[in-house]
Amino acid sequence: MAFHFIFCFFAPILFFSLFHCLFNSFKSNRRRPPLPPGTLGWPYIGETFQLYSQNPNVFFASKQQRYGSIFKTHILGCPCVMMSTPEAAKFVLLTKSHLFKPTFPASKERMLGKQAIFFSRGQYHTKLRKLVLRAFMPDAIKSFVPNIESLAEHSLRSSEARLVTTFHEMKTYTFNVALVSIFGQDGVVYSENLKRWYYVLEKGYNSMPVDLPGTLFNRSMRARKEIGRILARIISSRRRMKPDCNDLLECFMCEKEGLTEEQITDNIMGVIFAARDTTASVLTWIIKYLGENPSVLQAVTEEQEAVMRSKEEQKLSWEDTKKMPLTLRVIQETLRVASILSFTFREAVQDVEYGGYLIPKGWKVLPLFRNIHHNPEIFPDPSKFDPSRFEVAPKPNTFMPFGSGTHSCPGNELAKLEIMVFLHHLTTKYRWHMVGSNSGIQYGPFALPQNGLPIRLFRK
């Protein structure tokens, strides 16, 4: 009797629960969109080798031709979805950015430090961005023009009449500019020591995160500790003065919103990493494109000579850099053609549907800046270096050399400033020729002319 009662009571509940589960699972299976087309390549290595061993234009263009504007692949040990339209980039970086988190390879994250701005989200990221933007907004960087100018002049003088690797020289210049913007005058004092350890650190950026004696990663982590010690000394000497937001370090130390010493270390490493190779690669490409386009070089030189003639004193000012529209277009066109960051990385924090396809939770999502910048419907004859195309402003979300949305580049004004100051002295005082074949591309880690562009530089 009791059994009969229990059966009659629970059976309908059991039946309905079962039916409900089956119905839901059928519904979600039916609604689950397919993965994007494409291939995941070899186990673990995927298509990493194909991507980094050929001209990136060829890799991305052939994928897009075969599979369309959204496709899947597998690089650097992760399954990825690549997206090559302005709308998709806007979706990932801007309108639905909360569905994606910034992500980096594990070795890079440990070397830069977990609390660096790139990996952070939410309130902590908002706070960091406020501090970084305060240090790099035009009003703040104006005062660095004299320092940047003397670094540019010194860099050119030291390269005179020798065979130099452009990228190598540019890395020294952009490293020194980064230090000045972070530490003000202290940057010059600590430069050699910081440079020495930073050069050891960077060798392990793309290594496997295996912290055993003798490994690249282990050496890099030791260099990180040394840099941490130097930074601790600088911070303690600054604490004795009253920090007033004259440079990035002071902004990080300011009383109300100040960061801990560990957070400051992670973010200073992060800014050096973000500022140096990017700007050095762009400068290297500009020198190559100007060398290959004599009429553009002539026009830039005339613009820079006019700036020089228009003033009594020899030194450049912030206002002078606003009288260089053609030079600015050369920078923009270089950023477009070279697209030194072919893409950026995000990770889906939940299953996301886009364009009728599924992006599974945990997969990397890569908006392809390079494909957007080389789309002939947006930029006709895309491989031609033609600065005049920037006489008309590009449409929204079609030109993203500095990214887009909450993680877009806060250093873009400083990058343009240091490039302009350098080009002013290069074009008005020097001529150069490239040595050897320069048609290939290598990664260092950003797209770079073959062998870092060897050149010989002479005074006019």
Where do contacts with ligand HEM occur on this chain (CB under 6 A)?
A: 102, 117-118, 129, 132, 136, 178, 181, 270-271, 274-275, 278-279, 282, 340-341, 344, 401-403, 407-411, 414-415
By C-beta, is 24 or 445 nearer to ligand HEM? Answer: 445
Q: From the CB of 420, what's the least distance to ligand HEM, in Å? A: 12
Strand order in the sheet with 70-75: 70-75, 78-83, 364-367, 346-348, 100-102
Contact, 271 vs 132, CB < 8 A?
Answer: yes
Helical packing angle, 166-183 and 186-202, nearest 10°: 130
Cα four-point dihedral sign 147, 149, 153, 155: positive
- Write down the least CB distance from residue 194 to ligand HEM, Å: 15
Shortest Å distance, C-beta 285 to ligand HEM: 10
Distance CA 196, CA 20 (A): 65
Phi-psi region of 450 (alpha: psi -120 to 50; beta: other; left: phi over 0): beta
CA distances from 225 to 16, 17, 24, 232, 265 (A): 62, 58, 53, 10, 10
SS3 440: coil
Q: Using the Cα atoms of residue 418, residue 422, residue 428 and residue 434 in order, give the sign of their dihedral.
A: negative
Known binding residue 409? Answer is yes
CA nearest to 453, candidates 59, 31, 169: 169
Choose between 18 and 274: whose C-beta lies nearer to ligand HEM: 274
Burial 63-102 (b: 16+ CB within 10 A, else e): bbeebebbbbbbbbebbbbbbbbbebbbbbbeeebebbbb
Q: Give the angle subtended at the CA of 138 by the CAs of 136 and 144, to the nearest 5°.
A: 75
Strand arrangement, sheet containing 163-165: 163-165, 454-459, 430-434
Closest approach of ligand HEM to the CB of residue 393, in Å: 18
Q: Show the CA angle centred on residue 298, arms to residues 292 and 299, nearest 5°.
A: 115
Q: How far apart are CA 259 and CA 369, in angstroms?
A: 33
- Which residue, 190 or 402, is less far from ligand HEM as judged by CB? 402
User: In the structure encoding, which two tokens stand for residue 95, read together?
Assistant: 């309108």
Contact 358, 81 (CB under 8 A): no
3-class state of residue 154 by DSSP: helix
CB of 136 to ligand HEM, least distance (A): 6
In the complex, what is the shortest distance from the CB of residue 346 to ligand HEM, in angstroms, rounded to a whole number? 7
- Shortest distance, CB of residue 417 to ligand HEM, whole angstroms? 9
Nearest to 117 by CA among 410, 341, 384: 410
Whether 331 and 282 have beta carbons less than 8 Å apart is answered as yes
Residue nearest to ligand HEM (CB): 411
Phi, psi at residue 113, to the nearest 5°? 110, 135
311: tokens are: 């003033």
Q: Which is nearer to ligand HEM, 16 or 124 (CB)?
A: 124
Closest separation between CB of residue 242 and ligand HEM, Å?
24
Q: Cα–Cα distance between 125 and 116 in angstroms, integer?
A: 9
Question: Annotated binding residues for heme, as ranges?
Answer: 409
Question: Annotated binding residues, as ranges?
Answer: 409
